[in-house]
Structure 1
Amino acid sequence: MNAFPKTSALMARGCEFLGTEYAIMCGAMSWVSERNLVSAISNGGGFGVIACGAMTPDLLDAEIAATKAMTDKPFGVNLITMHPDLPDLIAVCAGHDVGHVVLAGGIPPKGSVEAIKAAGAKVIVFAPTLALAKKLLRSGADALVIEGMEAGGHIGPVSTSVLAQEFLPALSEEHVVFVAGGIGRGEAMAGYLEMGASGVQLGTRFACATESIAHPDFKKAFFRANARDAVASVQVDARLPVIPVRALKNKGTEEFTAKQREVAGVLDREEIAMAEAQLQIEHYWAGALRRAVVDGDVENGSLMAGQSVGMVKEEEPAAEIIAKLMAESEAALGGRRAA
């Protein structure tokens, strides 16, 4: 017997697409979304996603194999579009029969969507504008994630609620659309499902799950934080196309500002090309995030977190987080329908 009939009915399309019990995806968080958390979320009925980040093809190959050893449920892999080894990473996913590949960090390079689909996998993309979303879906993408600026990590300029109102009426009838950014409780999830979303994606809510390998000090920083502590980075030089990153404010936030000035200076001297400058910025974030997540350096590392961080107060098993979200959503839907 289904304990969450109203929520499950609204999620049916997303569940069919993902092959899961619940259409709740975990956002890919570098150094956090690895075999332990990914398998726990999938085993709990959700959809875990491995964050490839800056991994080499060999490292991704080992991570997928290790995750498959911990769960027989569906999970996906998130690939960064600007990764220099993207074709090889796609081939690794194909070799493991990964069913869903998420392309993030920019417009998918020519041939990447086709290569993923040729291996039989579904392609999930992000789009900051409705026009680009329609173009990507016409070009072969199977599903879309719309992510508002409340999210942690790399963000766009528009809030989740505004994106949902713009995208869902235009796309949800014909396409699978997941909503992400600032979702910390099931009531919000229910609202987006009622608007036409096929499911949701959460990152911050899962970052401190019991199964997350994040350092205890990283988790404590989340437990102490509130929404206004999660701030977006500032762009120092208009020529350097830096995507803002939302993280808990600390010394590392200030160091990023200094890093931008350093890279801008190198550009001024024409010592590197713009693409290399962008890659240096991305490598900075990968290293800063590792310092916080793995080493526990919460002062100088990057504490990437969404504004929903204020709702993260303790360690909980991933399956319990999912069950709570479903119960909160069901209660909200029941209450509104009865009113």
Structure 2
Amino acid sequence: MSAYPKTSALMQRGCEFLGSETAILCGAMSWVSERNLVSAISNGGGFGVIACGAMTPDLLDAEIAGTKALTDKPFGVNLITMHPMLFDLIAVCARHKVSHVVLAGGIPPKGSVEAIKAFGGKVIVFAPTLALAKKLLRSGADALVIEGMEAGGHIGPVATSVLAQEFLPELSADHLVFVAGGIGRGDMIASYLEMGAAGVQLGTRFACATESIAHENFKKAFFRGKARDAEASVQVDPRLPVIPVRALKNKGTEEFTAKQREVAQLLDEGKVDMGEAQLQIEHFWAGALRRAVIDGDVENGSLMAGQSVGMVTKEEPCAEIIASLMQESEAALERR
């Protein structure tokens, strides 16, 4: 770290909180952020995070144990707040003495933050608004991630740069705030650190790391992709809510738009009721991420990617990705 004195100084709070050499977290990507990638990121000086997603407690138990076998560095676990077995998953994290738990996908249910803190875990949360961020931090959250619409996967409506200007001046003096969404180079990391961020979170850049188990076809789609190819899903009819997801456009995204139109017409004609219509929309993408990441079906699967995908041009080991980000950040700070 002595090679990056300016960046290291600005990251110090984040590094002390995470217990890692750099305050660079990996976003939790379902099917991608598993033991191989998570351990490689932590071993490379970053902070890996297991994506629990829809895992059962037994599967998470095995994944944490598998990660521990590959690294003795700290790593976190990302839990979805609406998971029906959330408290059982927290109990698994407690048994393994997981140092950091990220609660994502909505407001943490009552008692969840307390359950994590009870076994000594640190709690990281997401917040789309400043008011909610302040409430969560008052309620015991230890750190916050602000994620802009440039990110891959499920997204909010506001750009990272706007969120950073809104949140950091208000919160960074007294709280740990990590910035995510659209970060592909170290120059941008330097900017957010100067604004008061404790660190950053990247997903898209790590999805194609050498250690990522993502299918060769999935990685090649990223290498071909440009920023404008990573599009947010469109909601065709207000009666059929669609949570925006950013992914590379393919046959599947086009068919999803067509499916929405088809279901809306069935609804208009009284051929399906509202419940059935919404179910059809929800089921369309079931298993789509796995099809792309694991099976390599890049036409019909979901290629969740952030707009920084245009900066992902080759397969690199995690340690090299982290080193290059730190070098770029340091060079940017030196120039100033």
Q: Aligned equivalents of 2:44 and 2:316: distance in 1?
A: 12
Do residues 205 (structure 1) and 209 (structure 2) align?
A: no
CA offsets per residue over residues 250-300 of structure 1, 9 Å max, x none?
0111233355567776896254698xx59x73x654510000000000000
Runs of 4+ in 1 over 4 A off after TM superposition: 258-268, 270-274, 283-286
Quote the offset at 1:116 in angstroms. Answer: 1.0
Amino acid at match of 1:182: G
Structure 1 residue runs of 5 or longer lacking an equivalent are none
Q: Aligned equivalents of 2:328 and 2:7: distance in 1?
A: 10
Quote the offset at 1:241 in angstroms. Answer: 3.9
Which residue of the partner structure matches residue 273 of structure 2? 269
Which residue of the partner structure matches residue 289 of structure 2? 289
Which residue of the partner structure matches residue 318 of structure 1? 318
Amino acid at match of 1:103: L
Which residue of the partner structure matches residue 235 of structure 1? 235
Q: Aligned equivalents of 2:286 and 2:193: distance in 1?
A: 33
Quote the offset at 1:85 in angstroms. Answer: 1.0
Q: Aligned equivalents of 1:120 and 1:83: distance in 2?
A: 22
Which residue of the partner structure matches residue 169 of structure 1? 169
Residue pair 2:103, 2:126 contacting (<8 A) in 1 also: yes
Residue pair 1:180, 1:200 contacting (<8 A) in 2 also: yes
Which residue of the partner structure matches residue 188 of structure 1? 188
Quote the offset at 1:119 in angstroms. Answer: 1.4
Residue pair 1:54, 1:286 contacting (<8 A) in 2 also: no
RMSD of aligned residue pairs (Cα, Å): 1.9
In the superposition, the TM-score normalised over structure 1's length comes to: 0.93
How many corresponding residue pairs? 332
Q: Aligned equivalents of 1:258 and 1:89: distance in 2?
A: 37
Quote the offset at 1:242 in angstroms. Answer: 2.6
Quote the offset at 1:87 in angstroms. Answer: 1.0
Which residue of the partner structure matches residue 52 of structure 2? 52
Residue pair 1:30, 1:286 contacting (<8 A) in 2 also: no
CA offsets per residue over residues 51-88 of structure 1, 9 Å max, x none?
01111111111000000000000000001111111111
Q: 1:262 to 1:113 in 2, by over 3 A?
A: farther
Do residues 123 (structure 1) and 123 (structure 2) align?
A: yes
Which residue of the partner structure matches residue 18 of structure 2? 18
In the superposition, the TM-score normalised over structure 2's length comes to: 0.94
Q: Aligned equivalents of 1:178 and 1:306: distance in 2?
A: 17
Q: 1:255 to 1:114 in 2, by over 3 A?
A: farther
Amino acid at match of 2:147: E
Q: Aligned equivalents of 1:138 and 1:44: distance in 2?
A: 33
Structure 2 residue runs of 5 or longer lacking an equivalent are none
Which residue of the partner structure matches residue 223 of structure 2? 223
Q: Aligned equivalents of 2:172 and 2:116: distance in 1?
A: 23
Q: 1:256 to 1:110 in 2, by over 3 A?
A: farther
Partner secondary structure for residue 125 of structure 1: strand
